[in-house]
Structure 1
Amino acid sequence: MLNANSPYLRDIRFHLHTQTDARVHEETGPFIARQGDGVFIIDPEGNRLLEGMAGLWCTSLGFSEKRLADAAYAQMLRMPYHQNFAHRSSDPVIDLAEALIARAPQPMSKVMFLGSGSEAVDTAIKVAWYYNAARGKTQKRKIIGRMRGYHGSTIGSASLTGLPNMHQGWGLPLPGFFHVSCPHFYREGLPGETEEAFATRLANELDALIEREGADTVAAFFAEPVMGTGGVIIPPATYFEKIQAVLKKHDVLLVADEVICGFGRTGTYWGCDTFAITPDMVTCAKGLSSAYLPISGLMLSDAIYQVIADQTHALGGFGHGFTYGGHPVSAAVALETLKLYDEYDILANVQAQGARLAAGLAALGDHPLVGEVRAIGLMAAIEIVADKQSRASFPLPAKVPVRLGELVKKRGVLLRPLGQSLCFAPPLIVKETEIAMIIKAVAESLDELAGELRAEGTWPSTRSSATN
C-alpha cells in the first residue's frame, strides 16, 4: 500500500496533467520517469524502458548526453539570464542565431528565439499579420491550416491546429482560421484516384478556399512537412509542389512548421529538404536543444524582414517578445546540440536506422490488425484497422491502439497511440539492436492483442476478411 508521501499519490493530489483525462488519472496515477540512460528511461522501480517516441518527438540525443548538461552548467555560472528586448543580447544567442541561419533549409535573414514550438507558431501568425499590415494589406489576416495538423496549444496555434480535441471546450478555433483536407492518401484518397490526382485535388481545394474567401484576406498557410501528432502523415508525391504554386499565385505566405521534423527527423536536416519546400518562415523547437532546455526559433526570409524592419522604425519598435525568449542557457545548450549533430553525423544514423525501422514495420504489414505502415527517416506509424479490405477502423471508445501501446510497454518499449495509429520516433542516436527491440515488442504485442480481441468475441467481425 502506498504511503501519503508516495510520488504517485502526490502527483494525483497536486498535479493537473495536460492532454490527460483528469478523472482517469485519479484512478491510474502517473508513469514516473526518474532517470535517463541513452535511449532508455528508468522508472522508480528500476525498470528500463526504451523511449520510442523520444519523449514528445524531441530528445534527439537521448537522455544522458553529458556535453549538454555541461554546456548548461557552464553558461549558468557565466551568465544565467539576459534579455533580448531593446537592443540587448548575449554571446550564446548571437552564436546560435548565426549557426541556425547557416543551417536554414532556404536562405533566411533573421531568427527570433522563443520558449516553445507553440510560441514560435503564435509568433509566425502575428508576423504574417504585421507584415501584411506594413504592406498596406490590413485585411490580409486569415490563416489556413490542415485537418489533423498540430501546431501548438496557445490560443492562436491551437486555432491553427486541426485536431478536434484541441478545440472542444475551449471555444476554438478563433474566427479567421480555416482548415483544408489532411494529405493522407490511405484515408482521404478516392477509389481509383492516383496519388498525384489526390495531390491535385487537395491543391484545388486550397485554391478554391482562397478564391472563396478572397486572396486579399488570406495571410498565410501553415504546414508540417510530415504531420506528427496527426499520425505521421507523409504527403503524397507532388503535394507540396502543387500547394506552393497555389500560394504563390495568391501572394499567401508559406510557413513550414519544422518543430518535429527539423534537425534530422525525416532523414534530411529539415523536412523542407525532404519535400523541396521553399518557405517564407520556418518554425523550429524540440530537436533544437534535444529538449534539454526549452527553446524555439522562428526564421524569416529577407523579404519579410525588410518590410518588418521598416515598420518597426516607423512605429518606434517591435511590440512583441517573451521574457525567456533567447534565454542564454537554453541557447548555449542548443548551440552544443547543433555541434553534436555534426560531430555524430546524425543524418547518417537516421538514414541507416530509419531504413531498418521501415523494413521491420513493413514486415508487419500483413498482420490482420495493420492497415497501413508509414515511415520516413526516424518517424513511423502503423494504422490499426478492424478490417483490412474495407479499411474500417475500430470504434474510438474501444481504444484499440491504446491497448496495443500498453502491451508494447509491458515489453519495455514506450510508443504513442495517436488516433487510430501507433507512432514511432526514437531518439536519433538509436542503435540497430534497439530498433530490433522495438520491432520485436510490436510484433509480439500485435499477436497478443489479436488473441485478446478474438477471445472477447468482438473481432474479427462477420464482414471482416482478416485472418492470421
Structure 2
Amino acid sequence: MTSQNVGTNLEKQEIWQKDRDHFVHPWTDFSTFKESGSMVLRQADGVSVQDADGKRYLDGIGGLWCVNIGYGREEIAEAVAEQIRDIPYFSTFGHHTTAPAARLAAKLADLAPGDLNHVFYGCGGSVANDTAVRLIHFYFNQLGKTSKKQIISRIDGYHGSTYMAMSITGVEFDHIGFDIDRQLVHHISCPNPYRRQEGQSLEAFCDEKVQELEEKILELGPDNVAAFFAEPIMGAGGVIVPPEGYHRKTLAVCRKYDVLYVSDEVVTAFGRLGHMFASQDEFGIVPDIITCAKGLTSGYLPLGATIFSDRIYEVISRPQAEGALFTHGFTYSGHPVSCAAGLKNIEIMEREAICDHVKDVGDYFERRLHELEDLQIVGDVRGRKFMMCLENVADKATRKLIDPEAKIGNRIADECQKRGLIVRPLAHMNILSPTLILSRDDVDFVVQTLRDSIEAATESLKVDGYLPR
C-alpha cells in the first residue's frame, strides 16, 4: 500500500478531512459539501471502482464520459512509464517535438474525416474549444475578414468551463453567479425532439431549428459571424439527439454564409457511439474543426486536441510579416507522456475492436433502458449506444416536471449508489456514460438497479408529497 492510497479507517478519515478542508471540487454543492464531504475512492479495475471501505460500484458514468477502455490497463501504465524514462517533457514552442506527439498527430489526422489533417494539442476539452475560437479569429483576420468574430452555439450545449468555453456553453444553470461574454457569443434553441410542440412532426421541428440558425446569422450579419459550435449529441445539456438531418442541414447553412462549423466531439469521439469520430460516420458531415479530449486517453492522462482542415491550415500557416509568429500555445501542448497514453489507448481500441463491441452491446443497452419507460416517472429514454439519459417527469402526458426541490435526479442516483451503481444526476435527469467494455450481464445489472432505484425514489416522492399517492 503506497502512501497515496487509502488503507485504514484512520487514513480514510484523514483523506476525507483534507479533501473537505482544501480541495475545491468542480461543480461543488456547497449546501451539502461541508457536512457530507466526498466519497473517497481507492481502487478501480475493469468497469468498477472501489471506495475506501472496500465497497464496489459499477461505474455507470465512465469517470466523466471518458474512461472508455476501462480501468486498470497495464499497457497504458507501461507506455506512460516508458515515456517518462525516455523523455518526460520538452517544450514544443519553436521547432522541437517528440515521437509520441508527432505519431499521435498523424494518427488523429488518419482517423479524422475529410481533410482534417492538422492537430493542435491542449490539456482538455475546454482548452480545445478555446483554441478553436482563437484559430478561427486568426484565420479570418489573415483573410482580411476582420469583422467575422461572432460565435453561435445552442441553448443546453456544453463546451467547457474556461471563460471562452463557458461563454459558448448554453447551459444557463452553469452561468449563475459567473460572467460570460454575451457580446461575442449568441445562442439558438436546443434541438430537443422531446420538447417539441404537440403534434409537430420531427421533420418540421428540424427545419424550424435549422431556420433559426440561418435567421440568427442574418440578424448578426454574415460578415460578422465566424463559427457555429455544435456537439453531435449534446452531452451535459441532457443527452439531446437532434432530429435526423439536423447536422447536415446546419452545415449547409454554414457553408452558404462562410461560417466555420466546429463539431465538439469531446464526448462522442473515441468509441462512445461506436466510431472513432461520430461527425461523419454517425451524422454524415465533415466539419471544419473537430475538438476532442476525454476518450482520447480514456482519462488516464489529461489531453485534448483541436483538429482542423487543410483549408484553414493553408491560411494560418502563411507568415503574417517578417519575424511574425503564430503566437498561441501552452506549456503542455503535445506533452509526450499524455501523447504516449493516447497512442496506446487508440492501439488498444483498434486491437480489441471496441467500436464494434459498442455497436453490439450499445444497441442492447438502448433496448434494455427503453424498458424503463413503463415506470411512472420515466418520461423519456434517449441517446445512442453508451451515451444515454433518462428524463423524469411528474406527468407523462403533459411532460410536466417534478418540483425541482424534490431533486429527483439526486434521489435516483443515491438509491443506485446504495445498490452498487454510480449514475450521474442532472436536475430531473439521470445520465449514463459507462466504460465501453460493458458486457450484456453488466447492462442487465445496470437496468435492474435503475428499475429498483427509480421505484424506490418514486415512493419517496409520494411520501414527501411531490407525487400523489
TM-score range, shorter chain: over 0.9
The residue aligned with 1:211 is 218
1:339 aligns with 2:347: yes
Q: Does residue 459 of structure 2 align to residue 451 of structure 1?
A: yes
Q: Is the 8 A contact 2:164 2:180 kept in 1?
A: no
Counterpart pick for 1:160 among 164, 168, 189 = 168
Asked if 1:140 is matched to 2:175, the reply is: no
Q: Which digits, 9 at most, give the CA deviation of each residue in 1:86-114, with x for residues without a partner? A: 01100111111111100002221211111
Equivalence for 1:75:
83
Residues 4 and 10 of structure 1 are in contact (CA less than 8 Å); yes or no, is this contact kept in structure 2?
no
Q: CA deviation at 1:394?
A: 1.0
Structure 2 counterpart of 1:389, from 377, 390, 397: 397
Aligned partner of 1:124 in structure 2 is 132
TM-fit CA distance, 1:311: 4.2
Cα offset, 1:299, TM superposition: 0.6
| Structure 1 position 102 matched with structure 2 position 102 | no
Q: Deviations over 1:268-324 (max 9, x none)?
A: 222202011210011110011011001111111000000000145666211100001
CA contact (8 A) 2:296 2:304 kept: yes
The residue correspondences of 1:270-349 to structure 2 (distance < 5 A) are: 270-272=277-279, 273-312=281-320, 316-349=324-357
CA offset digits 1:214-247 (Å, max 9, x no partner): 0000000001000110111111111112111111
C-alpha spacing 1:4/1:368, structure 2 compared with 1 (3 Å): closer
Q: CA deviation at 1:456?
A: 2.5
Match of 2:101 among 89, 93, 99: 93
- Measured in 1, the distance between the counterparts of 2:387 and 2:298 equals 16
Asked if the contact 1:387–1:393 (Cα under 8 Å) also holds between the matched residues in 2, the reply is yes
Could you tell which deviates more after superposition, 312-321 or 170-179? 312-321
Task: Tell me the distance in 1 between the aligned counterparts of 2:324 and 2:200.
Answer: 54
Instruction: State the distance in 2 between where 1:104 and 1:437 align.
Output: 35
Partner of 1:426: 434
Q: Does 1:248 align with 2:255?
A: yes
Q: Unmatched 5+ residue regions in structure 2?
A: 1-8
Rounded to whole Å, the distance in 1 between the matches of 2:314 and 2:12 is: 59
Amino acid at match of 1:138: T
2:452 partner letter: E
- One-letter amino acid of the structure 1 residue matched with residue 20 of structure 2: I
Q: What does the per-residue CA deviation read over 1:366-419, in whole Å, with 9 as the maximum and x for residues that have no partner?
A: 211100110312111111001011000112222111111110111101010123
Cα distance in structure 2, aligned partners of 1:205 and 1:314: 44
- Which of 15, 23, 39 is the equivalent residue of 1:7? 15
Give distance in 2, aligned partners of 1:314 and 1:384.
Answer: 60
In the alignment, what sits opposite 1:66? 74
TM-score by length of structure 2 reads: 0.96
Deviates more, 1:326-335 or 1:172-181: 172-181
Alpha-carbon shift at residue 445 of structure 1 (Å):
0.7
The question of whether the paired residues in 2 share the 8 Å contact of 1:156 and 1:174 is answered with no
Judge conservation of contact 2:406–2:461 (CA < 8 Å) in 1.
Answer: no
Determine if contact 1:226/1:271 at 8 Å carries over to the other structure: no
Which residue in 2 is equivalent to 1:466? none
% identity of equivalent residues: 38
Partner Cα distance (2:184, 2:254) in 1: 17
Moved more, 170-179 or 379-388: 170-179
Amino acid at match of 1:133: N
1: distance between equivalents of 2:81 and 2:442? 30
Cα distance in 1 for residues equivalent to 2:240 and 2:154? 12
Q: Equivalent residue of 2:137, what SS? A: helix
Structure 1 268/428 Cα, relative in aligned 2: closer, same or farther at 3 Å?
A: same
In 1, the alpha carbon distance for the partners of 2:24 and 2:466 equals: 35
Q: CA deviation at 1:260?
A: 0.3
**1:434-449 → structure 2 map (5 Å cutoff):** 434-449=442-457
- Counterpart residue identity of residue 226, structure 1: I
1:29 to 28, 33, 37: 37
CA distance in 2, matches of 1:313, 1:256: 31
Contact 1:231 1:419 in 2 (8 A): no
Q: Structure 1 CA distance, aligned partners of 2:104 and 2:10?
A: 47
1:49 deviates by: 0.5
Deviation per CA, 1:151-184: give whole Å up to 9, x if none. 0011100000001133222221342100111110
Q: Secondary structure at the match of 1:363?
A: helix
Cα distance in 2 for residues equivalent to 1:336 and 1:283: 20
| 1:211–1:219 Cα change, 3 Å | same
On the 8 A contact 2:406/2:466 being kept in 1, the answer is: no
Contact 2:47 2:70 in 1 (8 A): yes
Q: Does 1:257 align with 2:264?
A: yes
In 2, are the aligned partners of 1:60 and 1:290 still within 8 Å (CA)?
yes
Distance in 2, matches of 1:121 and 1:314, equals 29
Residue 197 (structure 1) aligns with: 204
Residues 1:405 and 2:413 aligned together: yes
CA contact (8 A) 2:410 2:427 kept: no
Contact 1:134 1:311 in 2 (8 A): no
Query: TM-score scaled by structure 1?
Result: 0.96
Superposition CA RMSD, Å: 1.5
Contact 2:110 2:117 in 1 (8 A): no
For 1:73-92, what per-residue CA distance to the aligned partner results, in whole angstroms no more than 9, with x for missing partners? 00000000012110110011
The secondary structure found in structure 2 opposite 1:27 is helix
CA distance in 2: counterparts of 1:4 and 1:382, whole angstroms: 34
Matches within 5 A, 1:166-205: 166-187=174-195, 189-205=196-212
SS of the residue aligned with 1:162?
Answer: coil
Task: Give the whole-Å Cα distance in 1 for the aligned partners of 2:275 and 2:213.
Answer: 27
